[in-house]
Amino acid sequence: MKIHPEMLKQFREYYKPGTEVELVRMNDPYREMPPGLRGVVTFVDDTGTIFVNWSNGSTLGVVFGEDECRKVNR
pLDDT digits (tens, 9 = 90+) for 62-74: 999 899 999 998 7
Residue 11: give its domain's CATH number. 2.30.30.40
In 1-74, which ranges are E strands?
20-25, 38-44, 50-54, 61-62, 68-71
pLDDT digits (tens, 9 = 90+) for 23-62: 999 988 888 899 999 999 999 999 999 999 999 999 999 9
State pTM to two decimals.
0.92
**Whole domain around residue 42: which residue ranges?**
5-71
Best CA proximity match to 40, nearest among 51, 52, 32, 58 = 52
What is the total count of domains within the chain?
A: 1
